[in-house]
Homo-oligomer: A and B are copies of this chain.
Amino acid sequence: MSSIDTALEANKLFALDYDPSLISPRPRLHLAVLTCMDTRLSRRALGLGPGDAHLIRNAGGIVTDDAIRSLLVSHYLLGTQEFMIINHTDCGLMKATEEELHRTIEQRAGIPANSPVRFHAFSDVEKNVREQLRKLAEHSWVRTETITIRGFVFEVQTGNLREVS
């Protein structure tokens, strides 16, 4: 059975106990978290339950245009007031340069990219978090006088979050 079919079977059981009145689409803690898609990061690492926060996840926890779009929707439409940006140690994007990633994937795919991809590879995780904070604050609709924005590194060896100042 494919993993998707396994997930669909599990969803049938999930739906039996599902109560739509329990979770508001407006995050209870007025919090949005931008972090990596990595398996080792989860809501549990922050003590967050269902309904507490928006979780925005991409490769690396990078402040891309898409992440900014999501954070703007989160704040202006759904009332979040605090943004956490979390990168992590041992990230896949730290293991190769931009050029190496392009070369590897082009070889594996056997075909050039028909649309450009920038992977946002990085080598220094703390510096990378600072760079994401800087990019976010640059957008005129991210009003730092009304939104609290803080950056963190998640240490995959210890499970600890470390603030980047």
Please tell me how many copies of the chain the complex holds.
2
Chain B CB within 10 Å, residue with most, of A55, A67, A104, A113: A55
B65 near A92 with CB under 8 A, answer: no
Query: With an 8 A cutoff between CB atoms, is A57 at the interface?
Result: yes
Interface size class of A (residues with CB under 8 A): 35 or more
A82–B138 CA distance with the chains assembled, in angstroms: 36
A binding-site residues for B, Cβ under 8 Å: 2-4, 6-15, 18, 20, 23-33, 37-40, 42-48, 50-59, 62, 64-70, 72-74, 76-78, 82, 84, 90, 92-93, 95, 101, 104-106, 108-109, 111-115, 117-120, 138-141, 143, 148, 150, 156-161, 163
Smallest CB–CB gap between A156 and chain B, Å?
Answer: 6
